[in-house]
Amino acid sequence: MAAPFPVSCARRIQKELTALHAEPVPGVTLKSGPDTLADKSTDINMIIKGAEGTIYNGEEFNLRFRMNERYPFESPEVVFQPPNIPLHPHIYSNGHICLSILGNDWSPALTISAVCLSIVSMLSSCKEKKRPPDDQFYIRTASMNPKATRWMYHDDNV
């Protein structure tokens, strides 16, 4: 269907997945990776478990990574998948996440596991389950791809 990934990009994703198997991020399991890296965009699905002692204890969330052929120079598209989308002040009900490293602060030296780690810590440090204040408006107007949104990061507490 589409042009295959450039070799360097495929190799990098492959290595990252191997590293994820070898050193998994606590609370994160790899559900399904790409069978081949032949397609232009590749989905990697993760399961994130709410850590003990946090308000998400016992909950399970599906997280989808989608890379394009410019990865790692362009950030991956990372969204939570329905049905269970965490109630969090930085996560919109369509699964989009407001996280600086997925946008402006992305660096090619970041990895899937670094992103997972950030998301887990973002969930763990949350004290109150609630949606972002502009959730209703956002989900009506947002594109499917969170990267089409220009994010403003203003809250470093949660």
Partner 1 sequence: METRKLFWASNVSKNRHRSQSHWTRSTVSALRVPVFPTLSSIQIDSGNSSTELRMDSEDDMAYEDEYDNQEDDGDDSNPFPPNQSLNKARADENDHIDVDEDDLDDSQNTADASSLACPRICTPDSGDYDVLSTEQVCQYMNDFVKDISNILQLPATTTRLLLSHFNWDKECLMERFYEDEEKLFKDARVIRPTAGDRQGSSSKSECNICYQTLKGSEFKGADCGHRFCSVCWRSYLTSKIMDENVTDKIECPAHNCRILVDDGLVMEMVGTQAAVRRKYQHGITNSFVISHRIMRWCPGVDCLFAIRLRISPDWVCVTCSQCQLVCCFLCGDQWHDPATCLVLKRWKKKCADDSETSNWISANTKECPTCHATIEKDGGCNHVVCKNSACKSEFCWICLGPWQPHGSSWFKCNRYTEDDAKAARDNQEKSRYALQRYLFYFNRYMNHQQSLRLETKLNNSIRIKMEELQQHNMSWIEVQFLKKAVDVLQQCRQTLMFTYVFAFYLQKNNQQDIFEDNQHDLELATETLSGFLERDITGQNVAEIKTKVQDKAAYCELRRNALVKHVHEGYEKDWWEFSL
How big is the CA angle at 40 (ends 44 and 3), to the nearest 5 degrees?
155
Residue from the set 55, 64, 151, 158 that interacts with partner 1 by CB under 8 A: 151
Residue from the set 110, 117, 139, 158 that interacts with partner 1 by CB under 8 A: 110
Q: Given the complex with partner 1, which of 73 and 82 has the nearer CB atom?
A: 73
**Length of the chain, please?**
158
Residue from the set 2, 15, 52, 84 that interacts with partner 1 by CB under 8 A: 15
Task: Report CA-CA distances (Å) from 113 to 1, 10, 38, 87, 110.
Answer: 29, 16, 22, 22, 8
**116 sits near partner 1 (criterion: CB under 8 A):** no
- For 1, the token pair is 């269907």
**90 sits near partner 1 (criterion: CB under 8 A):** yes
Residue from the set 43, 45, 138, 139 that interacts with partner 1 by CB under 8 A: 138
Choose the binding region for partner 1 from 23-31, 42-50, 58-66, 70-78 (rule: CB under 8 A).
70-78
What is the side-by-side strand order in the sheet with 60-67? 28-32, 42-49, 60-67, 77-81
Asked if 142 and 92 count as a contact pair (C-beta separation under 8 A), the reply is yes
CB of 49 to partner 1, least distance (A): 25
Q: Given the complex with partner 1, which of 83 and 141 has the nearer CB atom?
A: 141
